[in-house]
Structure 1
Amino acid sequence: MDISGTGTNLFLSDDSYGRASIGFNFSLYGETASEISVSSNGNLAFADGYLGLSNTSIPAGNSYGINDSFIAVYWDDLNPGAGGGVFYQTFGSAGSRYFVSQWNLVPHFGSSSNLVSAQAILFEGSNDILLQYLFASGEQGGGATVGIQDSPGLGLQWSFNEAVITDGTAICFSADGNYCNAQSTAVPVPGSMALLGLGLLVLRRFTKR
């Protein structure tokens, strides 16, 4: 789904973040939150803070002051202040809700043509995480980090500075090893966003150790 016309616009500038209500309790590596920080640079963090513009491999340290769980949706130096926007919206009814954050046609810093569109969908109950991607142009992950982290030293990396994210890619992080709830939940088929079900769906399982 494309929420750029219906979701809440955070009006983020370069190197900034905004707090968003998830609409339900969501857990990652055993840590639970009902609000999340949405960053201009393509990540979500439980802490009320900014992760930073220079992506690193996962597990990463806390050099930017984030010693808390975060999701690197497309962690790179992006600049929504120069174009595009960052949005969020919650759908569904109690027990089966899902929270969507979307970076919509956001350029990289210093570029007007290298645009990124990406989504993170957080599912109530299962605590699954679904990442979806659509690139109008650009590096397809060649300068970005994708993955999840609990704290310094514990995380799960999908990619780090690798051009492995093609149009329509969907990546699922599942706590119980099953496919994301998107398989059975009525998530609308996206229009201008990544084509869930038509792209590459990859499953990664994460557990607290």
Structure 2
Amino acid sequence: MKRKRGETYVTNSQDVKKLVSHTYSTFGRIDVGFNNAANTEAASNATHEFKEEDFDHLINVTLKSVWLCMKYQLQVMTKQNSGVIVNTSSMDAILCSAGTGVYAAGKSGVIALTKSVAREYGHQNIRINSLCPGAFRTSMLEEKFSDLSSEEKAKLNESYQKLNALGRIGDPLEAAKAVKWLLSDDASFVTGQNIIVDGGIGFRFE
């Protein structure tokens, strides 16, 4: 399939539809969905210098992808009259740091979309929440370190550690455990919520 510039699998309706359809045909149902997509390429630029194509790409990856995944997941879950979905937002949606306006807008949209859709489908026994992670040592974060000198890496690492109350960068498994809980029956009365897992960044800036 020929793709437009900046298009990815999760921003293409037919690709997402095929993924959900394949999952359903393989397992006979879809009980959980975890929609987790981001791209920080060109995410930090001055607003007056931001390119329109970069705006479209960032909003597509951060927000449209979540909407598309939920669209097709919900088509199955409404027939089952059950299901749980978790969508990944970002602490950028809450802190709204200078220079990250478009990325923050997309991730803020994920929170609003999650809350609205949770109210829409709650009566069908479908729970929908969002996860708001802080700094985690993922491959995306490691990319920021890859082209830096040892001294620059040390300074950047220290700046991330100083961001939160726990004084360290999170392990991705810590975010995964939060998602696992939200998807489990242990969170059976939790819906329409934005769960912050950030090591205490939020209250450092209150």
Larger radius of gyration: 2
Task: Give the TM-score range, shorter chain.
Answer: under 0.3
Structure with the higher fraction of residues in strand conformation = 1
TM-score (norm 1): 0.25
